């Protein structure tokens, strides 16, 4: 039997995954979320990496009763639903999506938030897997025994608007917004009706698209340059976006670049822009 995998970095290549696909504790998750305007496909009809399971961010791993989209579920619900996928505490998780690198970092961050670190994102996702000539098949539906996954919630990993308000005047805590520069500046309207335009006071802008090249995360050297241009290594970073998805791309990039003390503002601009008592800036 081959040695169980231990993932010591947050990003793996398709070549690495292919070489390690027979590891006894490997679980591959498809965490595809439709982009704005796209429809969610039925998982039974989805082609994916062999033996991959569907990690349903939209319907299972978001609180569908919450007022804002993509709100994280409670640790208890997360634990219960992950166990239904047969995932155990000693598993190694590799997460991909069918856009390249888009929604997979959200699933990666949720696992990190729940205290699980043996997890990585597949760089380039399913498109890169196919480009490399590796085989695909329909996603399987797990029907085996429950896993023994245990949530150990890190309350510092996910912020709500109250925690963001508390750090607005702290120069060592930097909010970085992953939206486009036009949305950040307030010169383009928000896609969600009723939202104010602009950004959180004192926040900085790093569009997530600047971290992606042809569906893959840019190199560690390039990531370091992107972040070092905005902040210093001692800063605590809080990432925001439209609804908590692409902020996690920045979190992934920052971790690859060597930053620590990272958090994601879960409600992001959908929440902040909806609450008229909260301050905003625009350029």
248 is catalytic: no
Active-site choice (94, 241, 245, 257)? 241
Q: What is the SS3 string spanning the chain?
A: CCCCCCCCCCEECHHHHHHCCCCCCEEEEECCCCCCCCCCCCHHHCEEECCCEECCCCCCCECCCCCCCCCECCHHHHHHHHHHCCCCCCCEEEEECCCCCCCHHHHHHHHHHCCCCCEEEECCHHHHHHHCCCCEEECECCCCCCCCCCCCCCCCCEECHHHHHHHCCCCCEEEEECCCHHHHHCCCCCCCCCCCCCECCCCEECCHHHHEECCEECCHHHHHHHHHCCCCCCCEEEEECCCCCCHHHHHHHHHHCCCCCEEEECCHHHHHCCCCCCCCECC
Which residues are identified as catalytic?
A: 241
């Amino acid at each position: 039997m081959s040695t169980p995998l231990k993932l010591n970095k947050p990003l793996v290549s398709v070549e690495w995954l292919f070489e390690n696909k027979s590891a006894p504790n490997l679980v591959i998750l498809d965490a595809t979320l439709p982009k704005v305007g796209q429809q969610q496909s039925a998982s039974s009809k989805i082609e994916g990496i062999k033996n991959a399971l569907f990690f349903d961010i939209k319907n299972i791993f978001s609180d569908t009763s919450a007022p804002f989209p993509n709100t994280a579920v409670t640790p208890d619900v997360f634990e219960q639903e992950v166990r239904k996928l047969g995932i155990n505490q000693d598993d190694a998780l590799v997460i991909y999506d069918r856009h390249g690198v888009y929604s997979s970092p959200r699933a990666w961050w949720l696992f990190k938030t729940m205290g699980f670190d043996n997890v990585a994102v597949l760089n380039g996702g399913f498109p890169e897997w196919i480009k490399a000539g590796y085989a695909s098949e329909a996603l399987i539906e797990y029907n085996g025994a429950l896993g023994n996954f245990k949530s150990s919630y890190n309350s510092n990993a996910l912020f709500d608007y109250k925690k963001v308000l508390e750090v607005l005047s702290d120069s060592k805590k930097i909010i970085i917004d992953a939206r486009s520069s036009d949305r950040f500046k307030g010169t383009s309207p928000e896609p969600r009706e009723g939202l104010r335009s602009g950004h959180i006071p004192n926040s900085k802008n790093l569009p997530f698209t600047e971290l992606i090249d042809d569906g893959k995360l840019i190199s560690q050297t390039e990531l370091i340059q992107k972040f070092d241009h905005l902040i210093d290594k001692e800063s605590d970073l809080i990432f925001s976006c439209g609804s908590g998805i692409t902020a996690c791309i920045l979190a992934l990039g920052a971790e690859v670049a060597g930053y620590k003390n990272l958090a994601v503002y879960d409600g992001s601009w959908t929440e902040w822009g909806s609450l008229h008592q909260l301050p905003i800036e625009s350029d």
